[in-house]
Amino acid sequence: MSNQHTNPYRPGAGHSPPHLAGRKPETKQFEEFLEQAEVTKNVILTGLRGVGKTVLMEDRYRPLAIQKKWAWVGSDFSESAFLSEERLCTRLITDLSVFTSSLSLTVSSDSFGFAQQDRLENRALDFDFLMTVYAATPGLSTDKLKAVLELVWSVADHKGIHGIIFAYDEAQVVTDREEKDEYPLAVLLETFQSLQRKGARYMLLLTGLPTLFPRLVESRTYAERMFHVQEIGRLNNKTSKEAILFPVKNQTWAFSNSAVDVIVNTADGYPYFIQFICRQAFDYLRANPEEDSIPIDPIVRQLDANFFSGRWEILTDRQRDLLYCVAQLPNAAEEFSISEIVDASKQLDGIKSFSSNDVSQAIPKLIDKGLIYRNRHGKYSFAVPLFAMFIQRHAQRKLIQQELLSDSRD
Identify the domain boundary among 204, 231, 258: 231
Residue 212 — very low, low, confident or very high, per pLDDT cuts 50/70/90? confident
CATH number, domain with residue 299: 1.10.8
> What proportion of the chain, given as a percentage, has pLDDT over 70?
92
Mean pLDDT calculated for residue range 217-242: 91
Assigned domain for 10 exists: no
The DSSP call for residue 101 is: T
Residues 60 and 207 in one domain: yes
Residues 335 and 370 in one domain: yes
- The DSSP annotation for 156-218 comes to HHHTT--EEEEEEBSGGG---BGGGTB-HHHHHHHHHHHHHHTT--EEEEEEE-TTHHHHHHH
Residues 99 and 188 in one domain: yes
The average confidence (pLDDT) of the chain is: 88
Q: Evaluate if residue 146 carries a pLDDT over 50.
A: yes
Mean pLDDT calculated for residue range 346-351: 89
- Position 119 scores a pLDDT of 52
Residues 172 and 32 in one domain: yes
Residues 111 and 158 in one domain: yes
Assign 44 to helix, strand or coil. strand
Domain coverage including residue 292: 237-311
- Position 14 scores a pLDDT of 62
Mean pLDDT calculated for residue range 368-373: 88
Q: How far apart are CA 120 and CA 258, in angstroms?
A: 68
Reported as type and span, the H/E element at residue 402 is helix 387-409
Q: What angle do CA 163, 159, 27 make, to 5 degrees?
A: 25
- Position 243 scores a pLDDT of 92
CATH number, domain with residue 402: 1.10.10.10
Identify the domain boundary among 231, 264, 297: 231
Q: How far apart are CA 44 and CA 167, in angstroms?
A: 10
Q: Cα separations (Å) of 2 from 258, 292, 298?
A: 22, 15, 23
Residues 297 and 387 in one domain: no
Residues 115 and 246 in one domain: no
- Position 142 scores a pLDDT of 94
- Position 115 scores a pLDDT of 46
**Domain count of the chain?**
3
Mean pLDDT calculated for residue range 191-203: 95
**The model's pTM:** 0.83
- Position 116 scores a pLDDT of 44
Residues 116 and 174 in one domain: yes
CB 267 within 8 A of CB 259: no
- Position 1 scores a pLDDT of 42
| pLDDT tens profile 102-127 | 888 865 444 444 544 455 567 889 99
Mean pLDDT calculated for residue range 163-192: 89
CB count in 10 Å sphere of residue 198: 12
Q: Pick the closest to residue 302 from 316, 321, 287, 281 (CA basis).
A: 281
Residues 214 and 179 in one domain: yes
| pLDDT tens profile 19-43 | 888 899 999 999 999 999 899 999 9
Length of the chain measured in residues: 410
As to burial, measured by CB atoms within 10 angstroms (0-12 exposed, 13-18 middle, 19+ buried), residue 126 is: middle
| pLDDT tens profile 286-338 | 888 888 889 999 999 999 999 999 999 999 999 999 999 999 999 998 999 99
Q: Pick the closest to residue 223 from 181, 178, 180, 171 (CA basis).
A: 171
CB count in 10 Å sphere of residue 406: 9
Residues 58 and 180 in one domain: yes
**Residues sharing a CB contact under 8 Å with residue 374, sequence separation 6 or more, in sequence order:** 211, 214, 363, 367, 380
- The DSSP annotation for 356-368 comes to HHHHHHHHHHHHH
Q: Evaluate if residue 266 carries a pLDDT over 60.
A: yes
Strands 202-208 and 42-46: parallel
Residues 185 and 39 in one domain: yes
Mean pLDDT calculated for residue range 142-168: 94
Q: Evaluate if residue 130 carries a pLDDT over 80.
A: yes
| pLDDT tens profile 37-93 | 899 999 999 998 888 898 899 989 999 999 999 999 987 777 777 788 899 999 999
- Position 109 scores a pLDDT of 45
Strands 163-168 and 42-46: unpaired
CATH number, domain with residue 212: 3.40.50.300
CB 56 within 8 A of CB 232: yes
Reported as type and span, the H/E element at residue 42 is strand 42-46
Higher pLDDT, 15 or 72: 72
- Position 170 scores a pLDDT of 85
Assigned domain for 11 exists: no
Q: Evaluate if residue 340 carries a pLDDT over 50.
A: yes
Residues 278 and 373 in one domain: no
Assigned domain for 18 exists: no
Strands 42-46 and 70-73: unpaired
Identify the domain boundary among 260, 295, 311: 311
Check residue 174 and give left, alpha or beta (phi > 0: left; psi -120 to 50: alpha). beta
